[in-house]
Amino acid sequence: MERVPISRQGFEKIKQELEDLKAQRPAIIQAIKEAREEGDLSENAGYDAARERQGMLEARITYINSRMPLFDVLDLDTLGGDRAIFGATVEVEDIETEAIKRFTLLGPDDADHKKGTISVLSPMGQAILGKEEGDEVIVDAPRGKIEYEIVSVEFLGSAGLPGE
């Protein structure tokens, strides 16, 4: 099995999510028990909803438990260099439109495009991994191939993470 990079902060968030999910189990079991006591289960919307909630909860717990042993936890405060790697904050310019994008490269389990982080496994992440300032890359995107120039690569550590 392949190791999955994750920041220390991302790992802690996932660990906390797992604890929170496990803490929800008793309430869901109680809801199922109460719904069962209402009688006919074939027309019991409360029972169906509680069972569905339980199924989604257990699926997420199983998923997180399966990922935990694969995580390669990295401390963003110890990373550095001049190449785009996990933990780097990269600024790229679309060569055609001259639009600038800035994001931090993280693992798939802690990347959040809305917060300015992308996965090293995303098309953009894969295209820029190992590249440095001044390099040009081509990214296969839904709108076609897009050519970018890497404007800067820097390491801001955990202080550079959104919401940190």
* 75's tokens: 């401390």
Q: How many angstroms separate the CA atoms of 110 and 6, rounded?
A: 6
Instruction: Tell me: pLDDT of 10 over 60.
Output: yes
Q: Taking residues 13-20, report their average pLDDT.
A: 96
- The pLDDT, as a whole number, for residue 13 is 94
117-119: strand order across its sheet: 117-119, 100-106, 89-94, 144-154, 136-141
Q: How many angstroms separate the CA atoms of 109 and 68, rounded?
A: 11
Among 151, 15, 3, 160, which residue's Cα sits nearest to residue 76?
Answer: 160
Tens-place pLDDT, residues 66-105 = 999 999 999 999 999 999 999 999 999 999 999 999 999 9
Tens-place pLDDT, residues 106-145 = 999 999 989 999 999 999 999 999 999 999 999 998 888 9
